[in-house]
Structure 1
Amino acid sequence: MNATPTPEQASDLLAQVDATQRQARSSDAWPLVMMLFVLSGVVSVSLVAVGILEDNTTQLIILCAGLAWLIPSMIVYISKALSWSRRSTVLLLTWLPLTMLVYLVAIIVDSYSPTSWVPFAAAGLLWIASPNLALVGLRR
């Protein structure tokens, strides 16, 4: 039996591999985007709470309650993502440090000046950046 495919068969196999890779990348993108939206929402709501509330304990409770939503989003991401692509890695390594940096800067500024507008601006920045980075994650 000859194991060498004909040029037509080779072309069909390459097209099939390409289609499978595209499907895996698009299936991986939606759970990742959902997880990033949950993280953005949690941090944004927490930043608004930081800007409004003066009690540090209440701010921490709101942050922890929001972070509890990351557990189901991680379960969905881990169970539904078919592959781990370079794009997913780049998106996570960009989005997570950016989110934490914005959050830490807002918290630090609020601790020095409790009447500052910085937590509100940081929350707005995350609400604007989140859909844009989601589009990067969904780009094919």
Structure 2
Amino acid sequence: MTTPTPQQATDLLAQIDSTQKQARSTDAWPLVILLIVTSTAASIGLFAMAVIDDPTTQLVILGAAAAWMIPAFVVYLTSALSWSRRSTFLLVTWLPVTALAFIAGVVADSMSPGSWVTFAAAGVIWAASLVFALLGLRR
């Protein structure tokens, strides 16, 4: 085993950096699709809950919105080539924000149908998806 020259070491480090950047950019789009689709499904479901008074119809629309989440996770899990620290951090940060807003919207609608809190929660989820998607695209 030979010791690399300083130039070879520099070239190897540059190659490693290039490979890491490529892995991050390849992982970014499936993550962005996952965030936008699941957030859109959740916010549309909440919006429908706030607008519609019939509980059965609310559940049907909420279920239809949730059905979009399954393909989003399938696409992400099959297309993301690497689990980077950044994508893991984004998912771990985005999930509680979305879950708390969703729960707050559902509770508010069950206590007071058509509550402004439900609309606000849907807006928070929608805005959070855009912010986290842009963070996911940042290199």
Counterpart of 2:45 in structure 1 is: 46
- For the residues of structure 2 that align with 1:130 and 1:12, how far apart are their CA atoms? 38
Note if 1:34 corresponds to 2:33.
Answer: yes
Counterpart of 2:81 in structure 1 is: 82
- For the residues of structure 2 that align with 1:74 and 1:132, how far apart are their CA atoms? 19
Consecutive unaligned residues in structure 2, runs of 5 or more? none
- For the residues of structure 2 that align with 1:79 and 1:112, how far apart are their CA atoms? 40
Counterpart of 2:135 in structure 1 is: 136
Amino acid in structure 1 at the alignment position of 2:111: Y
Amino acid in structure 1 at the alignment position of 2:9: A
Amino acid in structure 2 at the alignment position of 1:129: A
Q: TM-score, normalised by structure 1?
A: 0.93
Over the matched positions of the two proteins, sequence identity in percent amounts to 59
- For the residues of structure 2 that align with 1:68 and 1:96, how far apart are their CA atoms? 17
Q: Which moved more, 1:8-17 or 1:52-61?
A: 52-61
Report deviation, 1:14: 0.6
Consecutive unaligned residues in structure 1, runs of 5 or more? none
Counterpart of 2:13 in structure 1 is: 14
* Alignment length (residue pairs): 139
Give the secondary structure class of the aligned counterpart of 2:95. Answer: helix
